[in-house]
Amino acid sequence: MPRECQCAGGCGPVHCQVSDRDHGAAPGSHDPARPGAAPSTAATGAAGESGGRQAGGPSLTRRQFVSMIGLTAAGAGASEPAWAEWMAAQTPSDELARWKQSLFQKDRPRRYRSDAHGDARFPLGGIGTGTFELCADGRFTTWHLFNTLRDGHVPFFFAVRVGRTTKLLQTAGGPDWPRIHAIEMTGEYPLATLRFADADLPVKLEMTAFSPFAPLDSRLSSLPAACFVFKVTNPTARGQTVSLAAFLQNPIGYDAMGVPISFNSVGFNSVPERLGVEHPNYGGNRCRFARDGDAAVLTMGAVPAEPPALDRPVRLYTNLNAQIFNTPINDRPANLEVQPLERLGAQSLPEAGTAVILLEDAPAEMPAEPLRAVRQAVKDGAVLVLAGRSQPLLGAYADVTQGRPVDASALRPDVVFEDFESGYDGWTVEGTAFGSEPAKGTLPAQQGVSGFVGKGLVNSYLGGDDSTGRLTSREFTVDRGFIRFLVGGGSHAATQVRLMVEGAVVRAASGRNDERLLPQTWDVRELRGRKARIVIVDEQKGGWGHINVDQIEFSDLPGSAAAMEALDELLPARFSAVKPGGEGTVRFEGLRLNPGAKEERLTSVGVPDWRDARVFSWNVGEGRVVLVDRMLLPAEQVELIGARQRAYDVLCHLAGASYTRAPGVPANAPGFGEAAIATLGPNATALPEFTD
């Protein structure tokens, strides 16, 4: 049935009469090459073959259309009169004239209010030079200037002072200062204008922001600059003294890494801004003030650091994600090697004293197998360092032992509910994601899977991220206080391990958008005696739409009994509890050193914070165990060059090696360079640095 076309193509004023059959190929669109449609773009024009004729209009084949708009050699000579003649045949001349005139009519600018359009943002930055965004509420966000493909945040804001009244020129974020009451933004690229409204200010104030942009002038349009022009109007009969201020933190070395950046690809900008003068990557930052004619310029940079050096080879094994140690660059000396903890038992150790094992905030549910490998490596000559700001594994150990030796005979053995080594017996399989049997590791086109025990595991990547399904276990009675398992894969609510009691989900866990399987523990003491099932769900399509699961165990302990025994043999001290100590430290309550153990201070280490650390150590076999009361390298700081460098310094010192690092920012860091803020006029002043 003929109907008026509602397609999104460039039909102009033409009222196309097309049949439902013509629209069947793509809802909401049709082939402009067919009669009755004005052509819009070359891509659209080549979308289909020619159709029939429309009364009152000429027949136009696809070949004729392509040649007319000049997309082939034959079309290169298509004449303008032919195009005009075709257009005239489609539309009455008066209607076509009105449409042409409408193209030149000035439209009302689109306005955005700070109270209603907080997500409206305007990009600033030259072509190919990176960008940051100006929000309708006056904030500057989403800094893409550091070559790390991360959403960064740099403290940058404007303020105005009129008489004795000072206002921050943004309605949200920034320091805890009086903020402007309201902002209205007009964004018409390449210009954005913000109009500030506040009854406390006797003047009218607006700011126009832009980056140099001129068609066909690539040199001007690719300048790495953003410009801000303020206009102040005094509507009163009295003179007003007005001052404008700009505040920008020296960002060299920041690299958009770590807090306040969310490096989870699903959660950009989910972490609040950080307003402070410290960052683990900063070091040797400096600002220089100078005048250049009418311009006052504050240039920001950093001292380029010399590459670090290590006097002998050291191999580091860690429970942290070893892959991130190379992000954004590999900043280690060539003779410092980093390996994941799971490779510890599969590799022969280097000579005694050159292997270091770092367990940073090891989880309470850490399996016994890696701890056994750690124990053997220490006996063979490795140095074990236990650190962290909460140390859950040691907290679980203290809860079990209460400062006494582990009594293995008093502990019931763990129950392995499922290890996925012999198929899906006892499980109901639905969908296609899990296959007919457990996976043996990494599946085709999948990133490397690690952290599972034995040879089999649940891996729902079979067929890719778009496959779905679920596994449901046999029913069981909850008779232990804890359920432990390993989980990896997607972090979605639709990729989960779930504990079901009477049809309701009472516990759930997901991966962390990481193929590594990590330990997870559910405290189910309150559910003792209840009937339950475990359901593994993959109902997510798209990125990270899969889940990895292995080694489901029931236990009286949050960690395994075998793990507690291994710790009992390794630790240089016993204690009844691990409590927060403040500022990234812990307190070991009821601590008693084992015979032969000692407490020491690292007075010669190159990290000042660690010179006050409480360090307990003793020898085990050919190796050494070091227990410390503070964090060394938190998981969220592994990608920070500065934090890693300090950790390398301490770890190599504990291994008896000499690690030398120079102050400053590595010259090969992705964000190394200079930034500047400048203003025009003779009355400008500057404060190159402040610490509050």
Of 55-59, 144-148, 302-306, which gets the smallest average pLDDT? 55-59
Query: Which residues contact residue 439 at a Cβ distance below 8 angstroms, ignoring those fewer than 6 apart?
Result: 449, 456, 457, 458, 459, 461, 462
Q: CA 168 to CA 32: how far, in whole Å?
A: 53
Which pLDDT does position 109 carry in this prediction? Answer: 82
Pair 449, 459: CB distance under 8 Å:
yes
Q: How many C-beta atoms lie closer than 10 Å to residue 92's C-beta?
A: 10
pLDDT band at 263, cuts 50/70/90? Answer: very low
In the predicted model, what is the mean pLDDT of residues 8-33?
37
Fold of the CATH domain 415-556: Jelly Rolls (2.60.120)
In the predicted model, what is the mean pLDDT of residues 266-288?
68
Residue listed under structure tokens 């989910």: 270
Q: How many C-beta atoms lie closer than 10 Å to residue 636's C-beta?
A: 13
Q: CA 554 to CA 533: how far, in whole Å?
A: 13
Which pLDDT does position 79 carry in this prediction? Answer: 52
Condensed to tens digits (0 to 9), the pLDDT of residues 411-456 reads 788 899 999 999 999 999 999 999 999 999 999 999 999 999 999 9
Q: Which residue has the higher pLDDT, 13 or 309?
A: 309
CB-count burial class (<10 Å; 0-12, 13-18, 19+) for 15: exposed
Of 267-271, 445-449, 473-477, 559-563, which gets the smallest average pLDDT? 267-271
In the predicted model, what is the mean pLDDT of residues 233-237?
95
Q: CA 357 to CA 373: how far, in whole Å?
A: 11
Q: Which residue has the higher pLDDT, 655 or 3?
A: 655
- Name the pTM for this structure: 0.70
pLDDT exceeds cutoff 50 at 121: yes
Condensed to tens digits (0 to 9), the pLDDT of residues 94-107 reads 888 888 888 888 77
Which pLDDT does position 87 carry in this prediction? Answer: 65
Q: How many C-beta atoms lie closer than 10 Å to residue 93's C-beta?
A: 8
Which pLDDT does position 352 carry in this prediction? Answer: 57
Containing 369, the helix (H) or strand (E) segment is: helix 368-379
Strand bridging mode 476-477 / 131-135? unpaired
Q: Which residue has the higher pLDDT, 260 or 672?
A: 672
Copy the structure tokens of residue 649.
């310094």
pLDDT band at 560, cuts 50/70/90? Answer: confident
Condensed to tens digits (0 to 9), the pLDDT of residues 603-613 reads 777 777 788 88
What is the DSSP code (8-state) at residue 152? B
Residue listed under structure tokens 């070949």: 63
3-state secondary structure 197-211: ECCCCCCEEEEEEEC
The domain ranges of the chain are 3-102, 111-301+676-680, 317-410+563-653, 415-556
pLDDT exceeds cutoff 70 at 150: yes
